[in-house]
Structure 1
Amino acid sequence: MEISLKGDKEFEEIPSLKTKALRINLNENIYGTFAEIGAGQETVRQFFRAGGASGTIAKAMSAYDKDFSDAIYGIEDDGRYVTEARLRKMLDHEISLIEKRLTRDKHPNKLFFSFANTVTTIDFAKKYKGHGWVGIRYQIEADQDYNEIILHLRFKENDARLQQETLGVLGTNLMYGAFYKYNEPKKLLRYLYDHLDKDQLEIDTINFSGPVFEDVDNRLMSLQLVKNGMTDAVMFAPDGNNVLPARVLYKKNILALRGSFRPVTKVNMDMFQKSYDMFIKENKVDLDKTQVVFEITLSNLRAEGEIDEQDFMDRAKLLCSLGQTVLISNFQEFYKLVEYFSQYTKSRMGLAMGVNNLVDIFDEKYYRHLSGGILEAFGKLFFKDLRVYLYPMQNEDGTITNSENLKVHPRMKELYKFFKYNGKVIDIADYDTSILSVFSRTVLKMIADGEEGWEAMLPEGVSKLIKEKSLFGCETEEVFRDE
């Protein structure tokens, strides 16, 4: 029963904010509330100014005073107000009021919604740029359950008034997209930046839920955020939902592993486990405040010049099945990854990597865009409390390459020695010698060619999942035991 939305005319060009708001206002069935905290009532203002708002806006409110806010929405356990938990309480409360005050007998075709945001803009000292949570809970059919879109944003502008205006534009775009682009969520994401520039704000988390989004995988949507340049990195948890990196990484000791994980192999997991065992023994590492992150860079997701989304999903499913937290980033250089982590923590960090990755770190060609070249990059990489845990490489003649005998460019030898002998590079000694010849590319080729034996190269349960889900082009209907 999509009587209310299907008949609307599509606009060929990007509609103005007034046009977007007016289109919603003139829809006789869309009806709900706006609750905005912390940056003015900037979104609802667009709808009031567009005209015809009386048929759309049941109520607009802004509980700025903390005591009033707590009295209406309840008190948060952590005492904070700009959180996802607070936003969800706002949505819960406002939707429940609509349903109590308007009966379906009288309004059988009404599509109820609640739009909410809780935001803090830039502080007076301009030390913190500001951020916020924005969301909408709404119906597409009157007899259908609610759908939900929730996102987190970070402001980039240096003026509170400009940030308020940016929030109003984003909120209007979200309202419009929710009702008129819900069947094209990838386009909905892009349309959030209508009349906005990426220098104005960053969207680093978004989650879709509800009946119209039942086929949407939030891991794939997180990839779109990075792919579209909306953010440099997104994170998702083993349950598949995007999570706010700041919440996961705040004041944590962080151990990161970068790889293609195509697919994840026994070598990857051995590198993780052995580096983790070493990391938690460090004297500045708190086991209870340690977060492991498996990172895939955008360059590792590219296939023939474009990002292969199905290939990405295959990797994501495997890492999630192993209970891992995954970061998708646009950081080709490791120092950028460390800088990113440093926004959230001053605690000790660790990077687990193979020999080839470490050799690349000492390659000057990656730092020509920096005025200080490789020295500037290394200052950013190693001035933090960082350790590199190096996994050895087995050569074709059977010999082992580790930190003691790896070869860097002659000009880099002394620089490498400096970091090596100052305890910044540590060999992983207790590694599994039986799996050093395992490479993801070998496994991938064996799967593609239908060869046998690749199962033994993967962690327990992974080969079964590959076969059950036909990942990486695996064509078999029969599910075998892991060898």
Structure 2
Amino acid sequence: MADSHTPENTHGKALKINKDTSRYGAFAEIGAGQEVARHFFQAGKASQTIAKTISAYDMVVSDDIYGREANGRYVCEPRLYKMLGHEYDLLVERLSEGRGKTSRFFSFANTVATASSGSNKQSHGWMGVRFQTEPEGPSNDIILHIRMLDRYRLQQQEALGVLGVNLLDCAFYHIGNPEEFIPRLVDNLKEGQVVIDVIKFKGPALTHFNERLMNLELVRRGLAEAILFSPENEILNIADAVYGKSLLIQRGHFRPVTVTHVDVLQKGLVQMKSDILKSEGKDLEILPMMELTMHNLQTGGEVDEKDFLERVETLTSLGHHVLISNFFLFYGLKRFLRRYNSHFMALVVGASHLEKLFTEEHYKNLEGGLLEGLGKLLEQKTKLYVYPHKTNVLCLTAKSFFPSPNLRHVYKHFIENNQIVEISGCDETDDYLHSKDVMKMIEKGDPEWESKVPEKVRDLIKTKKLFGYTD
């Protein structure tokens, strides 16, 4: 998280805001105490900044003020928006005739659940600010979803307080340069204290923030393990998006997505419907996700932002959810998703990927090596689906793959226990189309590429001149 700017301490930031007589607002904090407002009270001159603080711990009281959520939850995004809207609207209604000509109003809110070490509960929450950049001007929103990783509640609350002050400081003084925003957002926080896995920007003063790139930056900096885009290109909270669903995940470069990628996913879906009934005893909604790792997005250690946006746009145009993750190995991704989802899950790969999966070198950081890694990946409710890798010379399948002699019994175990499953035969598939082969056609101006990608993707590439395409 090291950056060129020198972080200002939390007390100094709070005092700076208190001394800024044009800033005036309300604080509403549910679940973890008045951790953010506390910094402003302690810094001094809080009467110049704080019109009101509220902590509605009692659920009945909270529901009476902000309304009850349809799902009965309190730590959720809709609750945060209700808190921000209610407090901001009251502030404007009560004070606009008096100090509205000179004050830039704001409302700050968070709804947070903390948990002690050893608890099964997640320490997470939503935090946001609604603010004016000019007196009597329109409002703007910045929203975060966070997880606190410290072991004890007091430490989690302290981190929450620091992050809240940083968010207000960034919103008030650092929205001019998006590149500075995230480094300043984590000032005075230790590495590994918080995860920020959603950040959203809305309002006329924030149109220069590219939400997709800002969320990608969270993953690049290690502040989030993964981010999820909806087919409408919205940033989703992963925990909410995967809750109660079976997950089908296809990893790839998708530069661009090919007709083979689509066929892999479709055959995976057919297989999965049968497996869900056997595993769960009932039908469940399936959430297919196309996954890109940061490793697959980088060239020479750097992320090409234009290329990233083009890959996401082509995938979402097909109606797919897109997951960007920091997990090089599948078992890490699976364990991450298991934090939020206990239902049947499958990862679908081309048969050529089996060699990488059974390369012992990839698991050298684990005490149990490859056995531990595959044991963490494959269990009763997780399977690996294998799609044939067919060329004009051969067709590689799960049955024709042979790992090194010392691992053949391990591979046989997963095959016989139906944890590594073939989802198609060679006769039912065409030659496997790699993204890199299609890219070569595009670069050479070979029109054959147009038949190698889905129609929607073809039209998008041609219309928007994606991936270096020229007429």
What pairs up with 1:299-378 in 2 under 5 angstroms?
A: 299-378=295-374
Question: Is 1:236 aligned with 2:229?
Answer: yes
- What is the CA–CA distance in structure 2 between the aligned matches of 1:125 and 1:342, rounded to whole Å? 17
- Aligned partner of 1:445 in structure 2 is 440
Q: 1:16 aligns with which of 9, 15, 18?
A: 9
- What is the CA–CA distance in structure 2 between the aligned matches of 1:185 and 1:330, rounded to whole Å? 22
Q: Is the CA contact 1:266–1:435 (under 8 Å) kept in the aligned structure 2?
A: no
Task: Give the Å deviation of 1:431.
Answer: 7.2
Task: Give the Å deviation of 1:410.
Answer: 2.3
Task: Give the Å deviation of 1:48.
Answer: 1.5
* CA 1:230–1:432: 2 relative to 1, 3 Å: farther
Q: Is the CA contact 2:100–2:136 (under 8 Å) kept in the aligned structure 1?
A: no
Q: Is the CA contact 2:25–2:91 (under 8 Å) kept in the aligned structure 1?
A: yes
- Aligned partner of 1:480 in structure 2 is none
Task: Give the Å deviation of 1:262.
Answer: 0.7
**Amino acid in structure 2 at the alignment position of 1:25:** N
- Aligned partner of 1:212 in structure 2 is 205
- Aligned partner of 2:241 in structure 1 is 248
Q: 1:170 aligns with which of 144, 152, 163?
A: 163
- What is the CA–CA distance in structure 2 between the aligned matches of 1:259 and 1:177, rounded to whole Å? 35
Q: Is the CA contact 2:247–2:344 (under 8 Å) kept in the aligned structure 1?
A: yes
Q: 2:417 aligns with which of 392, 413, 422?
A: 422
What pairs up with 1:39-438 in 2 under 5 angstroms?
A: 39-103=32-96, 106-123=99-116, 126-282=119-275, 283=277, 284=279, 286-397=282-393, 399-429=394-424, 435-438=430-433
Name the SS of the counterpart of 2:288 in structure 1.
strand
Q: Percent identity?
A: 41
Task: Give the Å deviation of 1:193.
Answer: 1.3
Q: Is the CA contact 2:395–2:426 (under 8 Å) kept in the aligned structure 1?
A: no
Task: Give the Å deviation of 1:289.
Answer: 2.5
- What is the CA–CA distance in structure 2 between the aligned matches of 1:390 and 1:403, rounded to whole Å? 6
Deviations 1:249-285 (A, max 9, x none): 1232111111111111100001001110111122235
Deviations 1:285-335 (A, max 9, x none): 554422111111111011122111211111000111111111111111111
Task: Give the Å deviation of 1:230.
Answer: 0.3
Task: Give the Å deviation of 1:430.
Answer: 6.2
- What is the CA–CA distance in structure 1 between the aligned matches of 2:459 and 2:93, rounded to whole Å? 49
Task: Give the Å deviation of 1:127.
Answer: 3.2
Tell me whether 363-372 or 244-253 shows the greater mean CA deviation: 244-253
**Amino acid in structure 2 at the alignment position of 1:138:** F
- What is the CA–CA distance in structure 1 between the aligned matches of 2:125 and 2:334, rounded to whole Å? 24
* CA 1:250–1:437: 2 relative to 1, 3 Å: closer
- What is the CA–CA distance in structure 2 between the aligned matches of 1:216 and 1:34, rounded to whole Å? 25
* CA 1:435–1:455: 2 relative to 1, 3 Å: farther
TM-score by length of 1: 0.92
Q: 1:466 aligns with which of 461, 464, 469?
A: 461
Segments of structure 2 that go 5 or more residues without pairing to the other structure are none
Name the SS of the counterpart of 1:461 in structure 2.
helix
**Amino acid in structure 2 at the alignment position of 1:76:** E
Name the SS of the counterpart of 2:64 in structure 1.
helix
Task: Give the Å deviation of 1:403.
Answer: 1.0
Tell me whether 418-427 or 358-367 shows the greater mean CA deviation: 418-427
* CA 1:374–1:418: 2 relative to 1, 3 Å: same
* CA 1:33–1:298: 2 relative to 1, 3 Å: same
Tell me whether 441-450 or 329-338 shows the greater mean CA deviation: 441-450
- Aligned partner of 1:3 in structure 2 is none
Task: Give the Å deviation of 1:156.
Answer: 0.9
Name the SS of the counterpart of 1:100 in structure 2.
helix
- What is the CA–CA distance in structure 2 between the aligned matches of 1:32 and 1:422, rounded to whole Å? 61
- Aligned partner of 1:7 in structure 2 is none
Name the SS of the counterpart of 2:447 in structure 1.
coil
RMSD value over aligned CA atoms? Answer: 1.9
Deviations 1:362-387 (A, max 9, x none): 11010011111111111111124122
- What is the CA–CA distance in structure 1 between the aligned matches of 2:419 and 2:266, rounded to whole Å? 19
**Amino acid in structure 2 at the alignment position of 1:394:** K
Q: Is the CA contact 1:186–1:224 (under 8 Å) kept in the aligned structure 2?
A: no
Q: Is the CA contact 1:126–1:158 (under 8 Å) kept in the aligned structure 2?
A: no
- What is the CA–CA distance in structure 2 between the aligned matches of 1:141 and 1:316, rounded to whole Å? 35
Task: Give the Å deviation of 1:15.
Answer: 1.0
Name the SS of the counterpart of 1:92 in structure 2.
helix
Name the SS of the counterpart of 1:280 in structure 2.
helix
- What is the CA–CA distance in structure 1 between the aligned matches of 2:255 and 2:61, rounded to whole Å? 52
* CA 1:108–1:207: 2 relative to 1, 3 Å: same
Name the SS of the counterpart of 2:274 in structure 1.
coil
Deviations 1:8-49 (A, max 9, x none): xxx962111122112212222111111111111111111122
- What is the CA–CA distance in structure 2 between the aligned matches of 1:203 and 1:124, rounded to whole Å? 20
**Amino acid in structure 2 at the alignment position of 1:95:** Y
**Amino acid in structure 1 at the alignment position of 2:400:** N
Deviations 1:405-448 (A, max 9, x none): 12322222121111112211222226786742422101112222
**Amino acid in structure 2 at the alignment position of 1:122:** A
- Aligned partner of 1:36 in structure 2 is 29
- What is the CA–CA distance in structure 2 between the aligned matches of 1:85 and 1:151, rounded to whole Å? 12
- What is the CA–CA distance in structure 1 between the aligned matches of 2:221 and 2:380, rounded to whole Å? 30
- What is the CA–CA distance in structure 1 between the aligned matches of 2:450 and 2:137, rounded to whole Å? 44
- What is the CA–CA distance in structure 2 between the aligned matches of 1:49 and 1:105, rounded to whole Å? 27
